[in-house]
Structure 1
Amino acid sequence: MAEAVVTLRRRLAWAHHFDPERSLSATFQTLPGATFVVNGAAMARDTALVGAAVETR
């Protein structure tokens, strides 16, 4: 380990979702009029993205 090279990495980002609503409308092709809506988990409008890594060679 005397000649090892250690690399430290970090990331920091910010994400803004303009349309955080998660809903989808679906229809069965063989069954007309059978439309339904699927709701997913809502996303936050503003999100912090953080990451870190250590690499040894």
Structure 2
Amino acid sequence: MSLPRAACRWLRGQAEVRRAPPAEVVSGFNRAFHDESRQTPYPVEEIHRVGAEYGLALS
């Protein structure tokens, strides 16, 4: 029995989010920028906060 392709893509995406929390923040920004407003501010502080929580040195 195999999973449908859409389910496989979703599962792969979930694994990537868990490994890269700052990328999840940027993805949320990209969705808001595209779907809501082009004036959505870039979440620099949140990226640094999330990176620090996971011990990532972001500059």
User: In which range does the TM-score fall when normalised by the shorter chain?
Assistant: under 0.3
When normalised by structure 1's length, the TM-score is 0.22
Higher RCO (Cα < 8 Å, 6 or more apart): 1
Structure number having the greater helix percentage: 2
Rg larger in structure: 1
Structure number having the greater strand percentage: 1
